[in-house]
A and B are shown apart, each in its own frame.
Chain A
Amino acid sequence: MPTLDVTLILAAAGCWAVAGLLPLAGPRADRGGTFLGVLGSLLGAGAALHALLAPTAPGLSFTFWGAPARIEVDALSAAFLLPLHLVAGLAILYGREYWPLSAPKGSGRSVRVFFASQVAAMTVLFVVRQGLLFLVAWEAMAVSAFFLIQTEHERPEVRRAGWIYLAATHAGTLALTAMVILLAHRTGSLLWNPVTGTGSPLDAWILLLAMVGFGFKMGLFPLHFWLPSAHASSPSHASALLSAVMLKAGVYGLLRVSGLLPTIPRGFGGGLLALGAITAVWGVGNALAQRDYKRLLAYSSVENLGIIAMGIGLGWTGRAIHNPWLVALGFGAALFHVWNHSVFKTLLFFGAGSILHATGTRDMEALGGLGRRMPRTLLLLAPAILAVAALPPFNAFLSEWILYRGLFASLDQGYPWSGGLALVALALTGGLAVVAFARFFGTVFLGNPRTDAAVHAHDPSPTMRTPMAVLAGLCLALGLASPLLLPLLGRAAGGAGLTEPGLLGRGLGHDLRLLTALEALLLTLAALALAWLRRQPAAAERPPTWDCGYAAPTARMQYTGSSFADPWAALLPGRSVRMHRLKGLFPKPHALHIEVQDAVGEGLVVPWFVRMAARAQRLRRLQPGYLSVYVLYVLIALLAAFLWPLLRARLLG
């Protein structure tokens, strides 16, 4: 008899599966599809919240292809189901208008189908506890994402992004398949039950394969190469789902699989910590040089996944040296950042979608002054901008604060070097994120419009604004209510190997309450200062900006985003500048070209992939297209299958 939570989760997955098919029947059924999707999200989010609060984990056992299988909704699953259904429910509402059913070339239908199938696949993914089913759900999720990325497949760069993504995700699946086989060997069954007893040499291989397979999905350096163009190519509400939840499937996998193992071999924690630090710095460094604001957001996802990986690494270190306090801080910070990143990155992608909708361009340098033309978008996006820069009092600051505490605590635990370097990397990441997002916000929303596209921009309709308002409120609420979330985070970290769920609340509760009280004080002081400013009479006439007496400034004289970030972007290894030397007393007009390429992703890994693909073309000769040849293959395979048992005894003795 399945319990309530399991029933609700299965119902949610079912709702989403049907919600994807309804739009095919026409515009009227599309409304029903949206309704079913929202219903599914409400069911899923409700069940997840219930499971987070419940002390026991309900499960359901059954057989699948003759093998025992099990689904279980424990707190770790719930910690990922909650953001999934929050984001998916808001995104389907947003997408109704952002990507209407009547979009050209049938893309309105395909987006709805694959969006819903991806949500259904991920719902299943987060609750299955069996290797084979996990891989099936994983593939369903990955392939749905491929079709979402390929929505505008008539554009060559979109096709390229899609194929690179497909190659990357399947390379990851290959590693995961090997991991599932090894895990089955280790536990004796395909079921994912925690292994008791002592560690075995196999554990290191399982973790290594998990880091590769899930690392592809998380975008861990240097496996992040597929991510920026894939996220820039898909429709914005689908980008939000990919960035806010699909990348986290890798995080879930790492936490789940490592939670099954009895111990974590030494070195893995420090290794993942260092890898996360490199990923974070590399991601934010590339983010601040992008001109395309959706690519900027995608690189910022790389950065944030790096921060999450640092948390997991810290937790693993804690498990390796049997220090529950480090485990609690590391996993707690990672899970909290998963939530926070889901909220603010979804809001940012919705905002990016609204800008794209209003102006039709993804080039930041063509925009400017949108704040006066889209005042509501400006107001709704401001919390996300402050959150992504990890500034108080918004949510991401709190998760980074927990991570800082963990890193400082690890300095005295025999890991001074990885902890110290990660500390510096986290501080540097925060500093550079400020530059990157001051650039984004300033270039797009502030100042004067740089082109006509920006002059005629307007706020989106309430259908698109309402989901953004919900997320903007959550950015602040999660920041101010963080002391209440500590017990939930502790319980969720239990699934990842934290033995004492109450530790996080006991250890951090007092400090976090004082911290949030100070944040409330900050907001109060700001409100008082604003009230004081408002009581002063302002000049009725609004003159142009004082530009040091220059009377006729043009919008082109403003600082551009590229020049704003140039002092830091100039340090990037993948940046090339082409400029002709000016000659003579009266030089002719000249042009300056700056190109930024991800030196590792686009510069090294993608070309290597392309070379491998070219080599793999030789295998195409095996597939000539004649039926008779294929029949021959079948025959050879059959013969081999018959001969093998006969010859085995003779060959192997």
Chain B
Amino acid sequence: MPGFLVFPTHVALHLLVALLLPPLIPGLIAKTKAAMAGRQGPPVLQLYYDLARLARKEAVFSRTTTWVFLAGPIGALAAGWVASLLIPFGQTPAPVAFQGDVILFAYLFGLARFLTILAALDTGSAFEGMGAAREAAFSALAEPALFLGFAALAKATQSLSLTPMLLSHGAAGGRLTGPLILVLAGWATVYLAENARIPVDDPNTHLELTMIHEVMVLDHSGRPFALVLYGASLKLVVLGALILDLLLPPTGRPWLDWLGFLAGLGALAIAVGLVESAMARFRMTKVPQFLVAGILASAFAFLLLLV
């Protein structure tokens, strides 16, 4: 079985990173924004404290909701963890790899999103319905950008498995440089949109009418809300790994690869913080244009490789 559970230490490291590291990323982003604004800001480990506090608190459920309300956070978390098993972290292969895993990867995000939308609709709130409608509209635009990028890489590397697709693109030579830049541009829009970051969505806004992702989880509290927050940070790591895998060069030394990957995650968080400090959220009507630009970048990469 090629690629399946090859290096036990790497698998253990992979699982540890996927389990424990995610809450650090939002802390880094917040710290960067605070530094740019001249504030001290919350501690980098703030999300860990929040999660511990939420795990102890009592949960409140609205009288409108059913079990579907819990399916959102649970589904997002389970799908995120399974997806994290499929993606290589840096230059080390993923714990599980098989032909066609890239389709499972994309559809797991679809599952998480579908359940989150349903959980929002379950509350019967006008605001959460609005957030769900926006999420459904915008994510249906982010999905093709992700998928077309996969299609381009699959065509270039003759493989449908994430590990060879993301790690062996160097072997394709200079012909791939142009499409690779386009795929990276497309995936950058996906990264910002899927993680509800500026310029698509503002996680720190105070007006519900302008939110997308935050407004969908207004009613969650206690442990379900802890799962929501943790799931969102997990998504930052998993989708961040997608971008880093394309950028990081193979060094030949496993420990250097790991260090590079962790440094890369930090750099990506700081980059997101810089973007958020430098610009404001787009007007709602402008968001689809931004996402379509991402689709076009990925589609053009696919076309370049098809001909």
**Interface: A607 (CB within 8 A):** no
* Cross-chain contact B111 with A392 (CB below 8 angstroms): yes
* Cross-chain contact B160 with A442 (CB below 8 angstroms): no
Which residues of the other chain, B, contact A390 by a CB distance below 8 angstroms?
A: 107
* Cross-chain contact B118 with A557 (CB below 8 angstroms): no
Chain B nearest CB from A91 CB (Å) reads: 27
* Cross-chain contact A401 with B100 (CB below 8 angstroms): yes
**Interface: A416 (CB within 8 A):** yes
**Interface: B61 (CB within 8 A):** yes
In Å, the complex CA distance between A378 and B147 comes to 32
Which residues of the other chain, B, contact A432 by a CB distance below 8 angstroms?
A: 140
Q: Assuming A391-B114, A539-B60, A543-B63, is B78 touching A427 (CB within 8 A)?
A: no
**Interface: B236 (CB within 8 A):** no
Which residues of the other chain, A, contact B302 by a CB distance below 8 angstroms?
A: 420
* Cross-chain contact A442 with B121 (CB below 8 angstroms): yes
In Å, the complex CA distance between A447 and B147 comes to 32
- A538: contacting residue among B58, B98, B103, B307, CB under 8 A: B58
Which residues of the other chain, B, contact A371 by a CB distance below 8 angstroms?
A: 66, 68, 122
**Interface: A594 (CB within 8 A):** no
Which residues of the other chain, B, contact A243 by a CB distance below 8 angstroms?
A: none
* Cross-chain contact A538 with B74 (CB below 8 angstroms): no
Chain B nearest CB from A285 CB (Å) reads: 12
- B133: contacting residue among A392, A529, A564, CB under 8 A: A564
* Cross-chain contact A533 with B114 (CB below 8 angstroms): no
A 363-404 contacts with B by CB, 8 A: 368-369, 371-372, 375, 378-379, 382, 386, 389-392, 397, 401, 404
Chain A nearest CB from B226 CB (Å) reads: 9
* Cross-chain contact B114 with A545 (CB below 8 angstroms): no
In Å, the complex CA distance between A554 and B307 comes to 56
In Å, the complex CA distance between A547 and B117 comes to 17
A 383-438 contacts with B by CB, 8 A: 386, 389-392, 397, 401, 404-405, 408, 411-412, 416-417, 420, 423-424, 427-428, 430-432, 434-435, 438
* Cross-chain contact B306 with A448 (CB below 8 angstroms): no
Which residues of the other chain, A, contact B306 by a CB distance below 8 angstroms?
A: 411, 416-417, 420
Number of B residues with CB within 8 Å of any CB on chain A: 78
Which residues of the other chain, B, contact A610 by a CB distance below 8 angstroms?
A: none
Among the 9-residue stretches A350-358, A510-518, A582-590, A636-644, the one with 4 or more Cβ atoms under 8 Å from chain B is A510-518
**Interface: B85 (CB within 8 A):** yes
**Interface: B213 (CB within 8 A):** no
**Interface: B143 (CB within 8 A):** yes
* Cross-chain contact A431 with B62 (CB below 8 angstroms): no
**Interface: A1 (CB within 8 A):** no
Q: A515-B104, A533-B74 are in contact. List 16 more A-B contacts (CB 8 A).
A: A386-B111, A416-B306, A431-B110, A435-B137, A438-B114, A442-B122, A446-B66, A521-B85, A536-B223, A544-B63, A547-B125, A547-B126, A553-B124, A559-B121, A564-B121, A568-B140
* Cross-chain contact B98 with A438 (CB below 8 angstroms): no
**Interface: A530 (CB within 8 A):** yes
Chain A nearest CB from B191 CB (Å) reads: 18
**Interface: A98 (CB within 8 A):** no
Q: Assuming A446-B121, A536-B223, is B61 touching A542 (CB within 8 A)?
A: yes
In Å, the complex CA distance between A368 and B66 comes to 13
Which residues of the other chain, B, contact A97 by a CB distance below 8 angstroms?
A: none
In Å, the complex CA distance between A427 and B59 comes to 37
Question: What are 19 A-B pairs at a CB distance below 8 A?
Answer: A371-B122, A372-B66, A391-B111, A411-B306, A420-B151, A424-B299, A431-B143, A438-B121, A446-B124, A447-B122, A515-B104, A518-B85, A532-B223, A539-B59, A545-B65, A559-B126, A563-B129, A564-B121, A567-B137
Chain B nearest CB from A593 CB (Å) reads: 20
- A525: contacting residue among B60, B82, B99, B158, CB under 8 A: B82
Q: Which one of B108, B136, B218, B307 has the highest number of Cβ atoms from chain A below 10 Å of its Cβ?
A: B136
Give the B-binding residues of A (Cβ under 8 A): 368-369, 371-372, 375, 378-379, 382, 386, 389-392, 397, 401, 404-405, 408, 411-412, 416-417, 420, 423-424, 427-428, 430-432, 434-435, 438, 441-443, 445-448, 510-511, 514-515, 518, 521-523, 525-526, 529-530, 532-533, 536-539, 542-548, 553, 555, 557-559, 563-568
Chain A nearest CB from B97 CB (Å) reads: 9
Q: Assuming A420-B151, A446-B121, A559-B133, is B59 touching A538 (CB within 8 A)?
A: yes
Which residues of the other chain, B, contact A412 by a CB distance below 8 angstroms?
A: 158
Which residues of the other chain, B, contact A368 by a CB distance below 8 angstroms?
A: 124
Q: Assuming A397-B107, A434-B136, A536-B58, is B127 touching A548 (CB within 8 A)?
A: yes
- Cβ-closest chain B residue relative to A529: B74
* Cross-chain contact A405 with B124 (CB below 8 angstroms): no
Chain A nearest CB from B75 CB (Å) reads: 7
* Cross-chain contact A555 with B124 (CB below 8 angstroms): yes
- B118: contacting residue among A431, A442, A530, CB under 8 A: A442
* Cross-chain contact B129 with A564 (CB below 8 angstroms): yes
Give the 9 A-B residue pairs with the shortest CB-CB distance, closest first. A559-B129, A447-B124, A442-B121, A567-B137, A525-B78, A542-B63, A545-B62, A526-B78, A511-B98
**Interface: B208 (CB within 8 A):** yes
* Cross-chain contact A401 with B103 (CB below 8 angstroms): yes
* Cross-chain contact A408 with B118 (CB below 8 angstroms): no
Chain A nearest CB from B228 CB (Å) reads: 12
**Interface: B130 (CB within 8 A):** yes
Chain A nearest CB from B54 CB (Å) reads: 10
Which residues of the other chain, B, contact A518 by a CB distance below 8 angstroms?
A: 82, 85-86, 96, 104
Chain A nearest CB from B9 CB (Å) reads: 21
**Interface: B49 (CB within 8 A):** no
**Interface: B4 (CB within 8 A):** yes
Q: Which one of B58, B111, B134, B143 has the highest number of Cβ atoms from chain A below 10 Å of its Cβ?
A: B111
**Interface: B227 (CB within 8 A):** yes
In Å, the complex CA distance between A537 and B58 comes to 6
In Å, the complex CA distance between A566 and B144 comes to 19
Which residues of the other chain, B, contact A404 by a CB distance below 8 angstroms?
A: 100, 103, 160
Which residues of the other chain, A, contact B140 by a CB distance below 8 angstroms?
A: 431-432, 434-435, 568
Chain B nearest CB from A151 CB (Å) reads: 33
* Cross-chain contact B62 with A515 (CB below 8 angstroms): no
In Å, the complex CA distance between A448 and B139 comes to 26
B 67-125 contacts with A by CB, 8 A: 67-68, 70, 73-75, 77-79, 81-82, 85-86, 96, 98-101, 103-104, 106-108, 110-111, 113-114, 117-118, 121-125
Which residues of the other chain, A, contact B129 by a CB distance below 8 angstroms?
A: 442, 447, 558-559, 563-564
Q: Assuming A427-B143, A427-B147, A548-B218, is B63 touching A539 (CB within 8 A)?
A: no
In Å, the complex CA distance between A405 and B118 comes to 30
Chain B nearest CB from A405 CB (Å) reads: 5
In Å, the complex CA distance between A564 and B227 comes to 26
Which residues of the other chain, B, contact A525 by a CB distance below 8 angstroms?
A: 77-78, 81-82
* Cross-chain contact A515 with B60 (CB below 8 angstroms): no
Q: Assuming A427-B143, A438-B136, A548-B127, is B114 touching A386 (CB within 8 A)?
A: yes
In Å, the complex CA distance between A379 and B55 comes to 27
- Cβ-closest chain B residue relative to A405: B100
- Cβ-closest chain A residue relative to B77: A529
* Cross-chain contact A447 with B99 (CB below 8 angstroms): no
**Interface: B224 (CB within 8 A):** yes
Which residues of the other chain, B, contact A544 by a CB distance below 8 angstroms?
A: 62-64
- A530: contacting residue among B70, B154, B208, CB under 8 A: B70
* Cross-chain contact A511 with B99 (CB below 8 angstroms): yes
Which residues of the other chain, B, contact A428 by a CB distance below 8 angstroms?
A: 144
In Å, the complex CA distance between A379 and B60 comes to 22
Which residues of the other chain, B, contact A441 by a CB distance below 8 angstroms?
A: 118, 121
B 226-283 contacts with A by CB, 8 A: 227
- B117: contacting residue among A423, A438, A546, CB under 8 A: A438
* Cross-chain contact B132 with A564 (CB below 8 angstroms): yes
- B79: contacting residue among A442, A445, A522, CB under 8 A: A522
In Å, the complex CA distance between A412 and B65 comes to 50
- Cβ-closest chain A residue relative to B137: A567
In Å, the complex CA distance between A539 and B223 comes to 12
* Cross-chain contact B218 with A546 (CB below 8 angstroms): yes
- A448: contacting residue among B64, B96, B98, B100, CB under 8 A: B64
